[in-house]
Structure 1
């Protein structure tokens, strides 16, 4: 079946012969507008629907000529390949391709090289003559392994009827992305062969991997000496997943994943502009508001970026033949850097989005000083978990459990105190807290508060007294990019002999689109319920998610009656493969009524 390494399982869920036959029948039903049978993978049906959306003809001939100029409205690169100027990837890969091409023989196997826009630069075997031509863009030929590999950044396989085009129904293809020395995908290598007859990996997978590796070695060998020096300096500094490193030089910018999470694109531009400007002078400073810290070694500065992020930046010039060709910046957030000297505990809760990072770093900064702290936010946003992280081993009192009484009136002298659900404090407990803060304004106290009904006068006085030192945690819908990092943290440990829970890309995108009114707590309940009650194997598919999560949110707030009606309509649409005429008939309403209701849900 369609696979991307580490994203979807390579093993087929049922024997290949029956899976191919079932997929062929499902594809025929899809092309004729009939309901799809159960068991068709979500990623395959999504790919077919994308092809239909793009207007791809299933009976189109291959090769499909590349679009003239590759419509710039659809492309995101400004490096077109000119017929008179061979693509750097083709020049780098051609020696390996021409050595391997004769081994394909006169059979039906083929070897194909594409650029980053999926234009065919070179092909051999299967009737090809080693010349360029054709286009594997999904918007022109539908689902294929090259497009999938480029999109996922991993080796990908597509077999037989998973393709949209008729001419590929008896073809199995495997593609591997080719990366330049900076790690950017510059194209793909594809090996196509007759349809695989078993569930083993594609027989050409090793060949595709080998050709891609040779192409990458060719790209590295052709890079200019100064670029290689800069790349070597970047790789030396960026060892390890958590090192935030940026390298600048000429037209090159190398950014580690940790640095991409730390800085916005505007921050990176600001850092590059200031760093390169200073290199022309002294070679030892970054941009923004820079303050040399007396305790840091020379070349390390505190940098304050336009987005509000503050970090230390260690700037090292990179020299080649006696002149500076660029610089490497090693970054560390100030909250993390100062924690070692100020006794602050770094925050290890899952999440690297900008809203979450700013909130937790601000909370850590405030908690480093002995004084009350207010953590506010919607229910389930992680206020109590953050309070435990900040204080280590606090005494936790929960107003939702009733009167706090003596536990609040006589708190331990040397142990921090956390009061949860301040909005539910009884009047006597509010009075005790107000007296405690009057007598001990520097008490090590964290109060968590969920806004809702207007607070009474006494509670408002309590909130006012700690409002100067308050942090509001973002809702999960404001940081959906953190969901992938949160899933391992909220997933129960699997039983002995059972694999950990994993997720298909389609299921992950559905989780990211859902608004999560209960925030992390609601996400944890959904994940734990799946882990306990699930009987299927392999990654969790979108079809296994609860109906509201699978369907996604409506575009406007719905009443309970409208929500129930929408759920019934979407379930009927799913059963009938998206065919609105059959869905309307099954629901006993007119097709015009169905269209009107669907439009109304979109506001």
Structure 2
């Protein structure tokens, strides 16, 4: 172990040492000390921490803590690569040491360190306690520590978050001898990478390999691809892949996946990496050899690359399908914790791939999600109409995505930022002012995105009709939700606009887009929370729902589930709002029964599954509501 350098510290450290001496001598530390550091010293004095402790006090350590079991593989990989007097420490949420390697100056003892109490109440200010308290990376250098024991030690700590936990479950600390310039801790990157590896292991233990394979399959399916996921013992085949691939080809893919898992288990994958004739696909395609990695023996310092990565795909291998009439398959190995746990194959129509690339800019619009035929036809028709600067009317039920499509179409035109007017907000004068400005400038002005055209005031309708009579080609995209009664002037305006109109399908007619929409609405999880995934049962319930509020209602359901849930793992049917948990009717219902069942579901949804309030809003007793729920098979939801 490298000895401590006794070279005098820089001016900043010297001033901190003097301030600490003044504080410990009973005087104010001075103006140069940050207030949060001065408060930490005061807390240590309040807790009665002796400054001259030779080692942290010991408490009863936890028995077989899960955090240690998850962290040990990463810690065992990183610890041998540390040098220069550096050490690695793991503490739990109560700041009890669970594991310690190197940096004996920090521990103050060479005996068993399990159970050393590093809490602020026991040893005063230190980086592990600070990281657990603030929930973010913390560094404490030399004289910032309260104990004399750590005056020549610099430490950086990174908190560890368990899946779905809102607060740290522990922290990883890297200690090093104090440097003359402690502005950047030399082990900060090591601590961050180690913490990432430990959190990945925690997530993996919460989600076994079968769950990871299913998640990978669902992610690929969300993009509308034809997907096959295999692990050698089972396979998941999307309906699109089942239509394109024969039983013989699926058997070939299964054999290949079995070989990948078997070779990884027996260690042959690395031995075969350098042999050019190996690693071939079902039709002789060759995959790239895995990258070589240095083991602890050849490493001199730890880097983020030296630490295990989360589940990931390797570089795919691509090969033709003999019975696929121009099809190719791209197979990627799915690895977790350095082990191959299966493979995911996507089917690519090679003959259509070039044409699809040519149509990419034509059909693909920013901010839109969906690959179903009704949605693609609507978007394609709107795209064609939007290429000319003439009025365009988008028609559809509330919440189908009319405004999102309108914004994307205006972006496609490459025009200036549109003026957005919502007729439902009844802002007087907005539409006439735009019409007047456009009529005055022959060169044109910004386009108008007019929402809820059915709610236009009489003055707005008159201004638009006058403008369209003088200039039929105006940059206007309007949205219209049918159903509201319209007067003669508004009917005339809608008749003029409907000459160039597109009807958008409701969500119940494009349920195959629900997986992709779920992925889009889920977005990035908040720090410390796993990504939101959906069980097959929950997805089936979502696909069976009639969605009166369409895509907007689905987005609201996703937000509600994400905010309310505390469990880990995929979202289950039981976690969905009541109206979505209810299965379809088990018998054929009359028109009156269907209407009544729909009214009950809507009342329950509106009142957050509160049956008493739902019954009151329906004008019936609670006992009557329960009886009707049983009659319609809705009582088990």
**Bigger-Rg structure (1/2):** 2
- Pick the TM interval, shorter chain: 0.3 to 0.5
